[in-house]
Amino acid sequence: MLAGKRLLISGIANRESIGAAVALQASRAGAELVFAAFPRDLVGAKEVAAECAGSVAVLGVDATSEEEIAELEEGVRRQMGGLDGALHAIAFAPRPALGSIMGVPASAVQVAFTTSVWSYAAFGSMLSRLAPASGASLVGLDFASERAWPVYNWMGPCKAALRSLNSYLARDLAPAGIRSNLVAAGPLRTRAASGIPGFETLVRSWEKQAPLPWDVTDAAPVAEAICFLLSDASRAITGEVLNVDAGMHAMATWLGDETETAARPA
């Protein structure tokens, strides 16, 4: 499905990262890969690169820095010549921005927004200069941003902004034949998830409300959806948010059994 596609995969911290699952799936599907990793994650990213077919360069980048993204672009150009697609799997919020909505310093919110939203636009701009005339695909990661959760806090507004940005990028990248889409995944036990206070609340919500089974340790369904969006099979899809969450987004309330439901007051 991805034979000969040159793909940039970001956000790999270790084997449990969503980016790692995508990279391994894309490698099996025939893609040529280059990784972009935060400097502290280079060792983990290189371990994943060693599991992929062929030689995979691992480039360091702080995605909040315009200078480092420019350096990443040059590094990708040297390694690959160009790109047919990119996965933006980058998000971060300082702990104060995850612990509350109110009383959070503006500086913490700015870091969360720059890392999680602005950098997606920066990837789109970079891809527009690296893509062939036939076009390319940009994919990012979302999480149920249309609702307020007992946890997540400022990352929720950031993901809502990411959804809006996705629509604007779909508009502005289309003349170059570049698609922009998001995958809204259910909760997965990644290193990023371990930094969310009350993450188990999200896990319990999926256990009670998702109509299909959801395995928080298995990123394969999400990776397969991302690979589809990176492939030519999605050539007429842009501005989309693809929910890969076991149907959780479509349910209005928790799914109790008939006995439990009957016992509740009308």
Q: Which two tokens stand for residue 64?
A: 């909040």
CATH topology of domain 6-245: Rossmann fold (3.40.50)
pLDDT at 2: 98
Residue 195 confidence (pLDDT):
67
Q: Counting runs of H as helices and runs of E as strands, what totals does the chain give?
A: 11, 7
Q: Where are the domains of the chain?
A: 6-245
User: Residue 11 and residue 139: Cα distance in Å, rounded?
Assistant: 12
Do residues 125 and 66 lie in contact, with contact meaning Cβ atoms separated by under 8 Å?
no
pLDDT of residue 257: 62
- Residues annotated as catalytic are 152, 159
**Distance between CA atoms of residues 113 and 93, nearest Å:** 8
Distance of CA 206 to the CA centre of its chain: 19
Give pLDDT tens digits along the chain (266 positions): 999 999 999 999 999 999 999 999 999 999 999 999 999 999 999 999 999 999 999 999 999 999 999 999 999 999 999 999 999 999 999 999 999 999 999 999 999 999 999 999 999 999 999 999 999 999 999 998 888 988 889 999 999 999 999 999 999 999 999 999 999 999 998 777 766 777 788 889 899 999 999 999 999 999 999 999 999 999 999 999 999 999 999 998 889 765 454 444 44
pTM of the predicted model as reported, rounded to 2 decimal places: 0.92
DSSP 139: E
Query: For residue 33, which phi and psi values (nearest 5 degrees)?
Result: -120, 150
pLDDT value of position 144: 84
